[in-house]
Amino acid sequence: MNKISNGERSTENERYNGSTKAIEIKNLNEYFTNLTSKGIAEQYNSLKFGPSKSTEIGKKAENKMKNRYMDLLPYDDTRVILKNHPKENSEVSDYINANYIDGYKKAKAYISTQGPLERTIIDFWHMIWQEKACKIIMAANIIEDCKKKCEKYWPDTTASYGDITITLQSEKCYLDYTIRNFLLHHKDGTSRHIRQYHFTAWPDHGVPLYPLSLVMLLKAAKKYQPFCEAPLVLHCSAGVGRSGTVMLLDAAIDMAENEGYVDIVSMLAKMRQSRSNLVETVEQFTFVYRALVDYFCGEVTQKSCDEFQTYYNLKESESSKTLLKQQFERLKALISVETSSLSVQSRFYFKAPNSLTGETAHNSDNCKQELNHFYVNGHGKRNAYIVIQYPKVECIHEFWQLAYDVESRIIIVFGHANSQENKYPTYWPESNTLHQGNLKIDYITSELNFGVLIHTFNLRNSVEPQTSRVIKQCHILDWDESEDWPPPKNTIINLFNALETSLKGKPVLIVYKNNPCCAGFICASWIIYRQVIEDRLVDVFTAVRTIRRNQPSFINSLESYQKLYDLASSIVNENNSKL
């Protein structure tokens, strides 16, 4: 394929006219904007759909039960052939519903396979080991639309599949995907590591709302074991629609970054010679275009710490403040669409048994009404925070029961610990021990640091004394939640630094009086902090998108959004000074 010069181009002749054309990346946005839905459909329909080569091996009697869908079988000439299969399997054959697919200037860059069935899990892991694969991309959820799309083929801890024992070493859950790290140990004594990228944001029908989330997943996957020459294993349910879309996008990004132009029509035509029906719908085909436009022609908000400062300084200029406003408006529009079909407040009401509290039914009803809380996701962890309204006197037991049940080690409270009649009672012990049913809260110590008053307690249950734990309650004294504005940036950063060793992977309780938006700012700030500490990345856009998935009222002004950028800059500067 020859690169097309600018002189050979015009907006008109770039439109699809029945022949394949490469599009320069600098012209991609204009091209896609001018490309009508009819034009995209013409491109897509010009490609052959359905099997065009022999699939006889998949039709054999001993192999039929290993196919999820009998009308989606692997081509015989590109299929993955299993070798030295474990003999304990009574259905032994060299067959698995999988094909090698060429990528950009790389033969067998991918293996596209169906989501494993219960009877093919051993085959799947045998293929992973045989091909020396180090990465898996899963583009489906186990259950979708009340139907099983894929068997859960990995363990929660450790399990053996044929000759291979697999141990889950870690799991990090982000807004749109989950990353799992596994250790594979073969019976011959050798071991390997493999990482699974599970994209969870693909809806039952259609395509992901935010294309850049898939692009970012692909970029993250490229950074993991970058010199591994083994094929990238992809699967969804059938291993053709979503898997084909991910492969096509990945290869197109490679082509664009290396050549400066892209030709997804020719690329898909070539891929379909290895496995039929890759990219099953026009919508999936259009999604690839849209993802390329967003990545190469739009604004990518995720930045490395090294490049963030330049990006931040640009945002500070007058001309760029308009861009920040546009980013915030895009964020609001995206969240509005994402949450329209969700129960956005994952809200629960706790009601303790009367036998523990001795309260009347009337007071229990008050607790049910007032002690409400909702979970908020964090960086790499679901339900990292619990945002909860300040408890009334009659609900103090329920508050501590919640802290005990979720094993929280941290409580954040805004403003001075003042009591206004029964409205904001002192629900913690200021000395000695507070008794709440079976729970006992022992006062240990108090200290004032960097504008934060930290009380340390021991929380224990008289019925289960072995479960006692230390819990810290942090009053951010100079943060008046009625003003919406955070305290000095150093106060927040120093607080996060001080609490690092106390989290223990458990939810943080964030208590607000009247305005939950302060809790939203803390949640978003903590996500940004963890981005920098764990991944050396900054993405304020994604941090806010994450918390607003649970509560759309969080970070509801451009000023608050700007202050998160200011805080991110301070976090990066402090972290850089430690390196």
Q: What residues pair up with 181 in beta bridges, in sequence order? A: 170, 195
- E-assigned strand segments in 174-270: 177-186, 191-199, 232-235, 261-262
Q: How far lies 83's CA from each of 57, 123, 200, in Å?
A: 15, 10, 32
Name 398's Cβ contacts closer than 8 Å, sequence gap at least 6: 350, 351, 352, 357, 367, 371, 391
Q: Residue 172 has which token pair? A: 């990090």
97 close to 121: Cβ distance less than 8 angstroms:
no
Give the pLDDT mean for 76-101: 84
Please choose, from the candidates 175, 134, 180, the residue with its C-alpha nearest in 3D space to the C-alpha of residue 153. Answer: 180
DSSP letter assigned to residue 532:
I
127 close to 143: Cβ distance less than 8 angstroms:
no
Q: What φ, ψ does residue 340 adopt, rounded to 5°?
A: -65, -30
Measured between alpha carbons, how far is 137 from 245 in angstroms, rounded to an integer?
12
**Model confidence pLDDT, tens digit, residues 320-354:** 677 888 899 999 888 777 765 444 444 444 433 33
**Model confidence pLDDT, tens digit, residues 455-498:** 999 999 988 878 899 999 999 998 877 766 788 899 999 999 99
Q: How confident is the model at residue 75 (pLDDT cuts 50, 70, 90)?
A: very high
Half-sphere CA count of 500, side-chain side, radius 13 A: 8
28-42, 366-380, 517-531: which has the minimum mean pLDDT?
366-380
pLDDT value at position 365?
A: 54
555 close to 547: Cβ distance less than 8 angstroms:
yes
pLDDT value at position 314?
A: 75
Name 153's Cβ contacts closer than 8 Å, sequence gap at least 6: 116, 121, 124, 125, 161
Q: What residues pair up with 135 in beta bridges, in sequence order? A: 195
Q: How confident is the model at residue 577 (pLDDT cuts 50, 70, 90)?
A: confident
Half-sphere CA count of 260, side-chain side, radius 13 A: 6
3-state secondary structure of 287: helix
pLDDT value at position 353?
A: 37
Q: Is 419 left (phi over 0), alpha (psi -120 to 50) or beta?
A: beta
76-80, 86-90, 97-101, 119-123: which has the minimum mean pLDDT?
86-90
439 close to 459: Cβ distance less than 8 angstroms:
yes
**Model confidence pLDDT, tens digit, residues 152-205:** 999 999 999 999 999 999 999 999 999 999 999 999 999 999 999 999 999 878
The whole-chain average pLDDT of the chain stands at 88
Instruction: Kindly report the pTM of this predicted structure.
Output: 0.89
Degrees, nearest 5: CA angle 9-10-15: 100
Q: Residue 313 has which token pair? A: 């300084």
AA letter at 521: F
CB atoms within 10 A of CB 523: 30
Given a cut of 70, whether residue 543 has pLDDT beyond it is: yes
Q: Residue 140 has which token pair? A: 């489906």
Virtual torsion, Cα 236, 237, 242, 243, nearest 10 deg: 50
18 close to 46: Cβ distance less than 8 angstroms:
yes
**Model confidence pLDDT, tens digit, residues 552-569:** 889 999 999 999 999 999
**Model confidence pLDDT, tens digit, residues 408-453:** 999 999 987 665 555 788 999 999 999 999 999 999 999 998 889 9
Given a cut of 90, whether residue 27 has pLDDT beyond it is: yes
3-state secondary structure of 416: coil
For the CA atoms of the chain, what is the radius of gyration?
A: 27
pLDDT value at position 502?
A: 87
202 close to 283: Cβ distance less than 8 angstroms:
no
**Model confidence pLDDT, tens digit, residues 289-308:** 999 999 999 989 999 999 99
Decide: residue 483, CB within 10 A, 0-12 exposed, 13-18 middle, 19+ buried. Answer: exposed
pLDDT value at position 1?
A: 35
Which residues are known to be catalytic? 236
526 close to 543: Cβ distance less than 8 angstroms:
no
DSSP letter assigned to residue 531:
I
Given a cut of 90, whether residue 4 has pLDDT beyond it is: no
